[in-house]
Amino acid sequence: MTRIIAGKLGGRRIDVPPGDGTRPTTDRVREALFSALQSDYGSFDGLRFLDLFAGSGAIGIEALSRGAASADLVEQDRAAAHIIKKNVADLGIGGAHVAMTNVSRFLQRPPSAPYDILFVDPPYAFPANELHEILATLGESAWAAPDSLIVVERAKRGRFEWPDGIKGVKEKKYGETILWYGHCHD
């Protein structure tokens, strides 16, 4: 189990998928992520949030708890997607849309509207070239709203490079984890 840190659901616990198929973002990293996002945006009210490789859904649910208008949570693992759906139902939170599909397949259709915050947390062993392709797609105007922020969570020892169209603005290390922050070029 993990907990929602702040917002209207602060302190509530959610289930995480069993086994080692997913790697939930730690409370410490989630708290730092949302502190950084709050300093950039001030408020989450009305923002559209995209959570790719959603795992338990903790990141997208945290965004909704803090006031995001909607969060699309994409997870291909069937058991993990069912846990996300259960967490959303148990919390009685609106605005969550769970897509049980492969991220690349999800990105083949255009979004209903661009996202303000796009969070990408693939398994640490996920190939860097495939991540690069996903980020290049996200950097297109259909996916990223003006002034949007893309955040990528990776292992400290992994290789990472932003594609053309996305400008890296900062990186923060937390033990074995790095959060990479980038803005789409205007």
Q: What is the pLDDT of residues 107-122, one digit of tens each?
A: 999 999 999 999 999 9
Complete edge-to-edge strand list for the sheet that includes strand 144-155: 96-99, 70-74, 48-52, 115-120, 144-155, 177-184, 166-174
Average pLDDT over residues 101-112: 94
Q: Look at residue 24 and tell me whether its pLDDT is greater than 80.
A: no
* Per-residue confidence (pLDDT) for residue 19, from 0 to 100: 63
Q: Tell me if residue 18 falls in helix, strand or coil.
A: coil
Whether the Cβ atoms of residue 11 and residue 4 lie closer than 8 Å to each other: yes
CATH superfamily, domain 2-184, is Vaccinia Virus protein VP39 (3.40.50.150)
The model's pTM:
0.93
Average pLDDT over residues 84-101: 95
Q: Tell me if residue 85 falls in helix, strand or coil.
A: helix
Q: How confident is the model at residue 27 (pLDDT cuts 50, 70, 90)?
A: confident
Whether the Cβ atoms of residue 70 and residue 95 lie closer than 8 Å to each other: yes
Q: How confident is the model at residue 15 (pLDDT cuts 50, 70, 90)?
A: confident
Q: Look at residue 53 and tell me whether its pLDDT is greater than 60.
A: yes
* Per-residue confidence (pLDDT) for residue 22, from 0 to 100: 59
130: Cβ contacts below 8 Å, ≥ 6 apart: 104, 122
